[in-house]
A and B are shown apart, each in its own frame.
Chain A
């Protein structure tokens, strides 16, 4: 079932007569795992808010799962599109962790048995089962972040969007997020993350879209995009360390589009053996 999940046609959006999106054209197909990158203010968050209808186009068209977003409510779109906001404290409110995870399910009118099952699954997935009867506000910041994710995954949306999932996270937390993304991939979900963490994206996201000043300036594989210093510079992104080394050593025969540490090791060994 190859399907276009998100279709954006010539999208323009302004905020307070200040242009934020200037002619975005984009297609995201089912099962793709995409990273949208760019500097703060490039329009990334504004763009993804169009995918669940929070924002409607000023000019142009946005279709999600084939539906024009202007014709449906946010609640209807959210049924299929999960958006995990950057800061969990902007949404946690329930008396217990369990009730927090139930919230969306109740809003969407799921049956009681289904709710119980889904909540169980989501809590288990994010390692929060032992906290189910605790107040969300007694959890640590890392646990609250997992709770926010659990409450979105619980209703099993087909498109899941994460806004800056790795901001402020430590190494192990980032590894766990990467594992989660992998799991979602194997489940056939379509995943979009908004981030400026180049090291996290390198080797993990087969498609990278770079935005700058309201426009898409790059769209391709992680190898192609993250080794393009010009695009990275325009978007105020620093190249991954391996790419930087590759460029600095390009004159001794190192190809410029190396991303994996192992690739660099291999090429260096060849050169040093000579």
Chain B
């Protein structure tokens, strides 16, 4: 089932001469977990904002082509309507936590949608349990660590039960442990709740073994759109760098060893090596 269809989209921000998105074409099926990456300024954040209508409604500018999300034409659908189905989590946790405590924050989106109080209470409780936020539910945003704040941001969006979740560099301000923790939660949402997830990130090493598809952008265009194991072998990936284990894999391949498909994690790599050692020895 197609959840997103982007056809011949070109977009120029108001006041800019050059388009930020050029001739974008792709489709997303339900349940995919997509990593969207590329160098600074390539248009990945701009692309994200098409999915919930921030472009064109919040940012203005010239949008050419078709953007269809869950059979809704984004150009004709206001953001608050799309927000029911497309949840978005941004980079800076501070700017997406508006209220004085966690519980109220999670309820906020549901209040905006006009859900009855009982339903809001039920969903808030459910989400707090699912995300393990019981012991921080009364805390104010400034009392939380960056990782906790981002979890609350995700929870607030999750409560609205969107079919699609979009995350724009959610781990940019987090330390490694918190980053991995957050990405594991996002993976859970994709696997357990069957959410379609699109995540913009630079931290390839933490995501390659989790996503089903890698889209690489450069200068406003999509230059690579493949499954992770194919994507890392494509020369275009060099503009964002490959994880070190891929470097090792390629060097060994160059010497003549057949390691099969490229490893997406150290564990993956180690398994391949062990198999080779066993067959050799």
Which A residues have a C-beta under 8 Å from some C-beta of B?
39-41, 140-142, 167-173, 196, 198-199, 236-238, 240-242, 244-245, 248-249, 252, 261-262, 264-265, 268-269, 271-272, 274
Q: Once the chains are docked, how many angstroms separate the CA of A117 from the CA of B112?
A: 57
Which B residues have a C-beta under 8 Å from some C-beta of A?
38-41, 91, 145-146, 169, 172-178, 180, 202, 205, 239-241, 243-245, 247-248, 251-252, 255, 257, 266-267, 269-270, 273-274, 276-277, 280-281
Cross-chain contact of A40 among B172, B178, B276, B277 (Cβ < 8 A): B178
> Is A167 a contact of B173 with CB atoms below 8 Å?
yes
Q: Once the chains are docked, how many angstroms separate the CA of A271 from the CA of B280?
A: 10
Name which residue of chain B comes closest to A238, CB basis: B176
Q: Once the chains are docked, how many angstroms separate the CA of A240 from the CA of B247?
A: 13
CB distance from A143 to the nearest CB of B (A): 10
Is chain B's interface secondary structure helix, strand, loop, or mixed overall? Answer: helix
Report the 8 A-B pairs with minimum CB-CB distance, sorted nearest first: A171-B241, A236-B177, A244-B266, A238-B176, A248-B270, A261-B247, A168-B172, A265-B251
> Is A245 a contact of B245 with CB atoms below 8 Å?
yes
Name which residue of chain A comes closest to B169, CB basis: A168
25 A–B pairs (Cβ distance < 8 Å), ordered by A: A39-B177, A168-B91, A168-B173, A169-B40, A170-B40, A170-B202, A171-B240, A171-B241, A173-B39, A196-B175, A236-B175, A240-B244, A241-B243, A241-B245, A242-B245, A248-B267, A249-B270, A249-B274, A252-B274, A252-B277, A265-B251, A268-B248, A271-B277, A272-B257, A272-B280
> Is B175 a contact of A265 with CB atoms below 8 Å?
no
> Is A140 a contact of B241 with CB atoms below 8 Å?
no
Name which residue of chain B comes closest to A233, CB basis: B177
Q: Once the chains are docked, how many angstroms separate the CA of A248 from the CA of B38?
A: 31
> Is A198 a contact of B176 with CB atoms below 8 Å?
yes
> Is A40 a contact of B145 with CB atoms below 8 Å?
yes
Q: Which residues of B contact A249 (CB under 8 A)?
A: 270, 273-274
CB distance from A38 to the nearest CB of B (A): 9
Q: Report if A261-B266 is in contact (Cβ < 8 Å); known contacts: A40-B178, A272-B276.
A: no
CB distance from A13 to the nearest CB of B (A): 20
CB distance from A170 to the nearest CB of B (A): 5
CB distance from A40 to the nearest CB of B (A): 5
Taking each of B91, B146, B176, B239, which has the highest tally of chain A beta carbons within 10 Å of its own beta carbon? B176
Q: Report if A261-B251 is in contact (Cβ < 8 Å); known contacts: A241-B244, A245-B245, A249-B270.
A: yes
Cross-chain contact of B280 among A170, A240, A264, A274 (Cβ < 8 A): A274
Q: Once the chains are docked, how many angstroms separate the CA of A62 from the CA of B239?
A: 43
> Is B245 a contact of A141 with CB atoms below 8 Å?
no
Q: Which residues of B contact A199 (CB under 8 A)?
A: 205, 244
Q: Report if A142-B266 is in contact (Cβ < 8 Å); known contacts: A168-B172, A172-B239.
A: no
Q: Once the chains are docked, how many angstroms separate the CA of A177 from the CA of B176?
A: 20
Q: Report if A242-B252 is in contact (Cβ < 8 Å); known contacts: A167-B173, A248-B267, A249-B270.
A: no
> Is A238 a contact of B40 with CB atoms below 8 Å?
no
Cross-chain contact of A264 among B146, B202, B248 (Cβ < 8 A): B248
Q: Once the chains are docked, how many angstroms separate the CA of A172 from the CA of B39?
A: 7
> Is A262 a contact of B251 with CB atoms below 8 Å?
yes
> Is B269 a contact of A245 with CB atoms below 8 Å?
yes
Cross-chain contact of A261 among B240, B248, B270 (Cβ < 8 A): B248
> Is B177 a contact of A238 with CB atoms below 8 Å?
yes
Name which residue of chain B comes closest to A173, CB basis: B40
CB distance from B162 to the nearest CB of A (A): 26
> Is B244 a contact of A242 with CB atoms below 8 Å?
yes
Name which residue of chain A comes closest to B42, CB basis: A170
Q: Which residues of A contact B38 (CB under 8 A)?
A: 170
Q: Which residues of B contact A141 (CB under 8 A)?
A: 40
Q: Which residues of B contact A269 (CB under 8 A)?
A: 252, 255, 257
Taking each of B39, B40, B145, B169, which has the highest tally of chain A beta carbons within 10 Å of its own beta carbon? B40
Q: Report if A170-B266 is in contact (Cβ < 8 Å); known contacts: A40-B145, A272-B276, A274-B280.
A: no
Q: Which residues of A contact B169 (CB under 8 A)?
A: 168
CB distance from A163 to the nearest CB of B (A): 13
Q: Which residues of A contact B251 (CB under 8 A)?
A: 261-262, 265
Q: Once the chains are docked, how many angstroms separate the CA of A271 from the CA of B273?
A: 10
Q: Which residues of B contact A272 (CB under 8 A)?
A: 257, 276-277, 280
